[in-house]
Structures are given as C-alpha cells and as structure tokens.
Chains A and B, each alone.
Chain A
Amino acid sequence: MIKQLLLAALLALGLRPAAAQTPAPGEPLASQQLKQHLRGQYLHSDTAQAIITLYSRRQAGGVSWMVGATLSALRLGLGSSTSNPGNSPYYTAGSDGSGNMGGAFLIATPLVGYGLAKLLHYSNAHLQAVLTNYAAGQPLPHALRRKLKPRFFRTPIVTYKPVKYKPA
C-alpha cells in the first residue's frame, strides 16, 4: 500500500511539472530548437504561437499516454499484487500469484496506440506545414481551428519575473 502511494506520488510529482513548464524538460533538444525557430519566425502572430503551444501540449500528452500505458502494463503484467487492501473476501490474485502478461498487453496496446497516434498527428513536420500554409494566407483547417482554445493564446513562451537591478 505504502509502495503504491509512494509510486503514485512520485509519478504525480515527476510528470506534472514536466507537462506544465516551458521548455519541457523531457522534450528532445532538436524538437525544442525547431519550435523555438518557428516561434521566432512567426513572432508577432498570436495564432501561430497558439498553434505551436497546442502542438507541444499534444505531443507531451501523447508521450504521457504511452508512458502511462507502459507503466500500467508492467504493473499488471509483472507485479503479482502483494497487497489486499481491506482484506476483501472477493479479492483474487492471479492464477499462481504472478501477473498476466497477455491481458496487460491487451489492455495497454490501444492506450499506447492512442498516444502514438497523437504523436504522429501532432508531429513537428505537420506543425511546420500548418504554419507555412497559414503564413501563405490559407485558412486554418476546421479541426485545428476548433482545437485552438483561449488558454493556448494566454500561455507565455517562458514564464519569468523581472528582477530589479540594484547597482552595488
């Protein structure tokens, strides 16, 4: 029980800030540099900035779906549950106490697939294409326009607080 709580706390602490911060600590350097290059290219277009923010969020979401599904599958498949919370009489462990790798695989596959589909749909190449078309004057695709929420327009590139300079 304690182990599970600690693990949950670890995951909550470890994954949440990663998704909320810019630049995200987990994102590969090349991807971050590409996004920064695009941000600089369309610096004064609020819509372009919001699209880039949307794509970074969705990419982080895809990665976390895949990581979460993999971790749950490993927990289900390898970890024979060693605890019976509340000593429930209906509690049954696996057949011989060990996990069920096939079942875990079945459960995890669609979730990993969902994350992978997100990653592929919101890829950096697609982002570049969308921004190029938008800069050329074409209207945004309807699906993308629906996904652009006000919060993506409000998100700053980097959150900072200026420090008052005091000459010593």
Chain B
Amino acid sequence: MRFFFCLLALILLRLPLAAQPGRPTLPLGAAPADSGAVLVFNNWYLPRYQATAAGAADTTGALLSLFRKRRYAGLLYFIPYMAGMCLALPISTTDSQGQQHKTGEAVSPPLGSAVLAATVVGFIVHANRFNKSHLLAIDRGYAAGQPVPARYRRLLNDRHFAEAALLRTGLAQQMAREQASAAPTP
C-alpha cells in the first residue's frame, strides 16, 4: 500500500515538469553525427552509430537504454524481498508502554521462505540477464551482422530509441563543445 502511494506520488510529481509548452518534437531514433564508440554512464559500452539515408534505427543505443533501465528496475526486487522477510520471520511490536512484544511464530515461514527464495533466484537471473558483458556480446554480434536475440529484441520500444537519440545528441553536443574549446581562438 505504501509503495503504491509512493508510486502515485512519483507519477503525480512528474506532471508539472511534463506539462511545458513549446516542446520540440524530435522524431524517434533521429540521431546525429557519428560519435565513435564510447563508454558512458558506469563504463557501459556504446558502439558507434552512423545515421544512414536508409534510416537504420539506432539499435545499439536503444539496447543500452534498455539495459540501463532494467538494471535500475532491479531495485524493485526489494519489495518482494521485504514481503518474504515479513512472512518468514516473527514480527515484533511495541505497545504504548514501550514494551516490546515478539510474536511467538512468524505468519507463514514456509510461504515466506518460498517468496524469499524465489526473489533471490529471480534477482540473480535478472541481474545476469541485463549484464554488461551480455550487452557487449550482443553488440559484437550485431556489428558482425547477427540479429539481436529475440528475447532482448522483444523488449525494445519507442522510448528506448528516443532515449538513445537523446544520448547520441548529447554526446555530439559535448564533443562539439570540446572541439570548440580545444581549437585556438583567433
């Protein structure tokens, strides 16, 4: 319930930022000039991407965006973890006199342990699936002409491509600024 409220608050808080007039409409996947291969964020590998006239989408950038988002979402495994702990371990309460009462038995140790085990296993699988080295392997295969594995390709959506375009444009802007500051001023 509490987490529901938190999520609701988060969603509501985004509204004043989102409702701004005159926002430019960038086409999805519209990426700028070639920036070369770089490491971004926490040393994640972002391969080079050349926007062609044929309009090949920035798949590698979208994959990076997908992986990064999913890595952050791994924090949500904390919720079933807490639920499992609350079920599996006895709960202590404090009354108004300050006396601590510990319930003799947990709510449901078998169910709690099952939830805990499932959460831990699920988290390991999740963290392994969205791993830096896996992304690197996919990027290498993609550069060599192999398709992106279907289980990752299925997860890609428009928002990932839009974020990839943001990242590429930001990189191009940063590089342009660095070049301008490195060039001798007349």
Q: Is A125 part of the binding interface, using a Cβ–Cβ cutoff of 8 Å?
A: yes
Establish whether residues B13 and A63, one from each chain, have CB atoms under 8 Å apart when the complex forms.
yes
Q: Does B23 contact A (CB under 8 A)?
A: yes
Return B156 CB to nearest CB of chain A, in Å: 16
In contact, A27 and B24 (Cβ under 8 angstroms): no
Binding site of B, secondary structure by majority: helix, strand, loop or mixed? helix
A160 lies within 8 A of B39 (CB) = yes
Chain B's nearest CB lies how many Å from the CB of A135? 16
Interface residues contributed by chain A, number (CB under 8 Å): 65
Question: In the complex, what residues of A have CB within 8 A of residue B162's CB?
Answer: 29, 33
Contact flag A163-B39 (CB < 8 Å), given A23-B166, A123-B16: yes
Instruction: Determine whether the beta carbon of B82 is less than 8 Å from that of A163.
Output: no
Asked if B9 is an interface residue, CB under 8 A from chain A, the answer is yes
Is the pair A119, B16 in contact by a Cβ cutoff of 8 Å? yes
CA distance A117 to B173 in the complex (A): 31
Binding-face segment, B52-60, B89-97, B108-116, B122-130: B89-97
Q: Does A28 contact B (CB under 8 A)?
A: yes
Asked if B9 and A21 sit within 8 Å, CB to CB, the answer is no
Interface flags for B18-53 (1: CB within 8 Å of A; 0: not) read 101111101000000000111111010110100000
Tell whether, in the assembled complex, residue B167 and residue A30 are in contact, meaning their CB atoms are under 8 Å apart.
no
B69 sits at the interface (CB 8 A)? yes
Q: Which residues of B contact A39 (CB under 8 A)?
A: 170, 173
What is the 8 Å Cβ interface bit string for chain A, positions 57-89, against chain B (1 contact, 0 not)?
001000100110011001000111111100111
Q: Does B98 contact A (CB under 8 A)?
A: yes
Most buried by A among B21, B24, B171: B24
User: Pick the contact of A158 from B78, B82, B174 — CB < 8 Å?
Assistant: B174
Q: Which of B2, B5, B36 contacts A165 (CB 8 A)?
A: B36
Contact yes or no, A44 B180, CB < 8 A: yes
Taking a contact as CB atoms under 8 Å apart, the answer to whether B37 and A33 are in contact is no
A136 CB within 8 Å of chain B:
no
Within 8 Å CB of B18, what residues of A?
28, 30-31
User: Taking the complex as formed, is B177 at the interface, i.e. its CB lies under 8 A from any CB of chain A?
Assistant: yes
Chain B residues, Cβ within 8 Å of A92: 96, 98
In the complex, A94→B96 CA distance in Å? 7
Cross-chain contact A89 with B37 (CB below 8 angstroms): no
B134 adjacent to chain A (CB < 8 Å): no
Contact B10 A67, beta carbon cutoff 8 Å: yes
Option from B75, B163, B169 in Cβ contact (under 8 Å) with A40: B169
CB atoms of A28 and B94 under 8 A apart: no
| Given known contacts A67-B10, A123-B16, A128-B22, A29 and B94 CB-to-CB distance under 8 angstroms | no
**In the assembly, what is the distance between CA of A3 and CA of B130, in Å?**
27
Partner of B6, one of A34, A70, A156: A70
| Interfacial chain B residues near A28, Cβ < 8 Å | 14, 17-18
Closest CB pairs A-B (n = 4): A158-B170, A163-B37, A124-B20, A161-B39
5 sampled A-B residue pairs with Cβ under 8 A: A10-B78, A25-B72, A33-B166, A34-B22, A80-B93
Extra 6 A-B pairs, beta carbons < 8 Å, given A26-B14, A32-B166: A23-B163, A29-B159, A49-B177, A74-B6, A81-B94, A162-B37
B-binding residues in A (CB < 8 A): 3, 6, 10, 13-14, 21-23, 25-34, 36-37, 39-40, 43-44, 49, 59, 63, 66-67, 70-71, 74, 78-84, 87-89, 91-97, 116, 119-120, 123-125, 128, 156-163, 165
